[in-house]
């Protein structure tokens, strides 16, 4: 049981800990100290639900639906491009936000944004539903459930660690120039991810 739990924890962590749209958004909100708990909870619970569905066998069903994956890919790419433009605009106009200060998005806007980053990203389905779901098939019975619990724990640890750990960088972001660099990097990440999604769609 310990082996299956550890395998799930390590696989989940390896898939989650990467530069991506969702992580970049959580980092930014963590620096602002705005809506951190609810956003981290949404990300972690969403991963938990998708992992559970994958382990339950939905991964095989989704893999047989190319239209569904293509639709999510196009929608996700368009959203990433739109957010890249917003981030680039913020990078050109720094100083409007301060770490732990006023400004930023309302709770409703932030929740809508993180939901879009989560469910309009086809990689989240490939990672949680398909990859983790198919890997869990190597474990029989209860061990499969323990494997899923390990993967889910990795998600909770990462998102809450990222969201609340970001405040350690707050002194650095007291300068407008630091926000300009962060938003510029976020814009590049979003645009490159959107381009890679469309590129993969064209190549397939």
The domain ranges of the chain are 2-203
> How far, in whole angstroms, is CA 15 from its chain's centroid?
10
Confidence (pTM)? 0.74
Q: At what angle do helices 2-16 and 142-165 cross, to 10 degrees?
A: 40
With helix as H, strand as E and coil as C, how does the chain read?
Answer: CHHHHHHHHHHHHHHHCCCCHHHHHHHHHHHHCCCHHHHHHHHHHHHHHHHHHHHHCHHHHHHCCHHHHHHHHHHHHHHHHHHHHHHHHHHHCCCCCCCCCCCCCCHHHHHHHHHHHHHCCHHHHHHHHHHHHHHHCCCCCHHHHHHHHHHHHHHHHHHHHHHHHHHHHHHHHHCHHHHHHHHHHHHHHHHHHHHHHHHHHHHC
Q: What is the pLDDT of residue 97?
A: 46
pLDDT digits (tens, 9 = 90+) for 48-65: 999 998 888 765 555 566
| CB proximity list for 172: less than 8 A, separation 6 or greater | 178
Per-residue model confidence (pLDDT) at position 143: 85
User: How much is the pLDDT for 158?
Assistant: 92
| 9: CB partners within 8 A, 6+ apart | 150, 151, 153, 154
The pLDDT of residue 72 is 65
Residues of the chain where predicted confidence (pLDDT) is lower than 70: 1-2, 18-19, 58-65, 68-69, 72, 94-104, 137, 204
Distance spanning both ends of the chain, measured CA to CA = 39
* 143: nearest Cα among 115, 44, 179, 135: 135
Q: Residue 81 to residues 48, 94, 192: CA-CA distances in angstroms?
A: 27, 20, 9
Would you state the pLDDT for residue 96? Answer: 43
């Amino acid at each position: 049981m310990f082996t299956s739990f550890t395998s799930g924890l390590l696989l989940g962590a390896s898939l989650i800990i990467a530069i991506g749209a969702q992580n970049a958004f959580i980092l930014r909100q963590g620096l602002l100290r705005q809506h951190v708990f609810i956003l981290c909870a949404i990300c972690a619970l969403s991963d938990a639900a998708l992992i559970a569905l994958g382990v339950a066998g939905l991964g095989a069903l989704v893999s047989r639906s190319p239209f569904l994956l293509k639709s999510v890919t196009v929608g996700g790419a368009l959203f990433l491009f739109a957010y890249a433009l917003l981030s680039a605009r913020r990078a050109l106009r720094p100083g409007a936000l301060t770490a732990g200060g006023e400004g930023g998005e309302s709770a409703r806007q932030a929740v809508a944004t993180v939901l879009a980053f989560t469910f309009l990203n086809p990689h989240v389905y490939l990672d949680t539903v398909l990859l983790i779901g198919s890997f869990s098939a190597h474990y029989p019975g209860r061990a499969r459930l323990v494997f899923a619990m390990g993967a889910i724990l990795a998600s909770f640890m990462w998102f809450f660690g990222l969201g609340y750990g970001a405040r350690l960088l707050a002194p650095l972001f007291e300068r407008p120039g630091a926000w300009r660099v962060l938003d510029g990097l976020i814009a590049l990440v979003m645009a490159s991810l959107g381009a890679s999604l469309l590129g993969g769609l064209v190549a397939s």
